[in-house]
């Protein structure tokens, strides 16, 4: 299945456990070609009909991956969760192949540091990251929360009373609260981009961006949890 040039619309997913299989199926649903690899024949058989290609392989073996055409892929995801050594070795092999974008799943911070050192470009800790996200939602008044690097966050929340009924440009939200309203969703309608002329009404949902402490403070201005 190897091709002469790399195709950014193809992704190899190594490890078809809960995380890897869910990710692989989502990629297929989004129009990507996915090669799913796992050492467990039962998992490969389970997802063979749903993925573009699926194969049983020792992903720590460069020759085995080469025979499957893995060096021709532009993107790879290492989602091995139950064997840290295999996760690290597989990531290292993919890095040696020169794959441009390697994502890897880590089970803890130490595992993440090692994966980064052996060549992973992006490392996620699904359980840890979800725990942090839920903690922000439980303790605040936000409906959704995504934190990025450098203490920057994006939240979905309702609006405080003092910004209702007037154009956003007249509310001085950025000056007063240090946040930017990026989008607005009216009940029964889709999200739309926010402009200086947009008027926020009660029960509207806002997508707000800014420093973590600022967006949390803004979300907590609402009178009650939603």
Residues 16-34: tens digit of each pLDDT: 998 999 999 999 998 999 9
The answer to whether the 7-124 and 136-219 domains have the same CATH topology is no
CATH superfamily ID and name for 7-124: NAD(P)-binding Rossmann-like Domain (3.40.50.720)
Looking at domain 136-219, which CATH architecture does it have?
Answer: 2-Layer Sandwich (3.30)
Q: Who contacts 181 (Cβ-Cβ below 8 Å, separation ≥6)?
A: 168, 173, 194, 198, 200, 206, 207, 208
Take residue 36 and report the two structure tokens written for it. 């799913």
Please tell me the least confidently modeled range out of 124-138, 143-157, 203-217. Answer: 124-138
Which residue stretches of 36-184 are H helix? Answer: 41-47, 62-67, 84-96, 109-117, 126-139, 173-177
4 pLDDT higher than 50:
no
79 pLDDT higher than 90:
yes
Percent of the chain with pLDDT over 90: 60
160 pLDDT higher than 80:
yes
Which residue in this structure is represented by tokens 């091709």?
A: 3
Mean pLDDT for all residues in the chain: 87
73 pLDDT higher than 50:
yes
> Taking the domains of the chain in order of start, what are their residue ranges?
7-124, 136-219
Three-state DSSP class for residue 62: helix
By the 8 A CB rule, do 105 and 185 touch?
no
Q: What is the pLDDT of residue 2?
A: 42
Tell me the C-alpha distance between 192 and 183, whole Å: 5
81 pLDDT higher than 70:
yes
What's the burial of 39, exposed, middle or buried (CB within 10 Å: 0-12/13-18/19+)?
middle
């Amino acid at each position: 299945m190897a091709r002469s040039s790399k195709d950014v619309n193809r992704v190899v997913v190594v490890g078809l456990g809960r995380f890897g299989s869910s990710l692989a199926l989502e990629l297929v649903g989004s129009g990507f070609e996915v090669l799913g690899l796992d050492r467990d024949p039962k998992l490969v058989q389970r997802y063979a009909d749903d993925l573009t290609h699926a194969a049983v392989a020792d992903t720590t073996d460069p020759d085995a991956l080469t025979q499957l055409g893995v060096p021709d892929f532009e993107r790879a995801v290492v989602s091995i969760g139950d064997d840290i050594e295999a996760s690290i070795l597989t990531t290292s092999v993919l890095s040696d192949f020169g794959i441009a974008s390697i994502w890897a799943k880590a089970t803890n911070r130490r595992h993440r540091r090692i994966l980064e050192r052996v060549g992973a470009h992006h490392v996620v800790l699904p359980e840890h990251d979800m725990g942090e996200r839920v903690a922000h939602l439980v303790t605040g008044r936000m409906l959704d929360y995504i934190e990025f690097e450098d203490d920057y966050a994006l939240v979905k929340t309702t609006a405080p009373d003092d910004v209702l009924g007037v154009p956003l440009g007249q509310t001085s939200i950025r000056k007063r609260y240090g946040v930017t309203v990026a989008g607005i969703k009216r009940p029964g309608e889709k999200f739309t981009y926010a402009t200086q002329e947009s008027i926020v009404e009660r029960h509207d949902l806002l997508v707000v961006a800014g420093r973590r402490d600022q967006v949390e403070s803004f979300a907590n201005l609402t009178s009650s949890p939603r």
